């Protein structure tokens, strides 16, 4: 959430709008990483538990 606050602050300063967009992109990617890792882990564990 800190990245989104920083990105919002950057959007208030005309010279930092591009940097603000990059900060929002980085924040969005970070929010996707944890659920993606959890999903991959669950799929892997399900495959290990299923009988072959």
pLDDT of residue 50: 83
Q: 0.85 exceeded by the pTM?
A: no
pLDDT digits (tens, 9 = 90+) for 9-33: 999 999 999 999 999 999 999 999 9
- The answer on pLDDT for 5 being more than 80 is yes
- The answer on pLDDT for 52 being more than 70 is no
- The answer to whether the beta carbons of residues 23 and 13 sit under 8 Å apart is no
Return mean pLDDT, the chain: 94
Alpha carbon separation from 6 to 24, 41, 49, 50, 52 (Å, rounded) = 9, 31, 43, 45, 50
pLDDT of residue 38: 96
């Amino acid at each position: 959430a800190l990245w989104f606050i920083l990105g919002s602050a950057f959007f208030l300063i005309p010279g930092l709008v591009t940097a603000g967009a990059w900060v929002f992109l980085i924040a969005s990617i970070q929010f996707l990483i944890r659920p993606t890792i959890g999903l991959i882990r669950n799929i892997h564990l399900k495959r290990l538990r299923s009988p072959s």
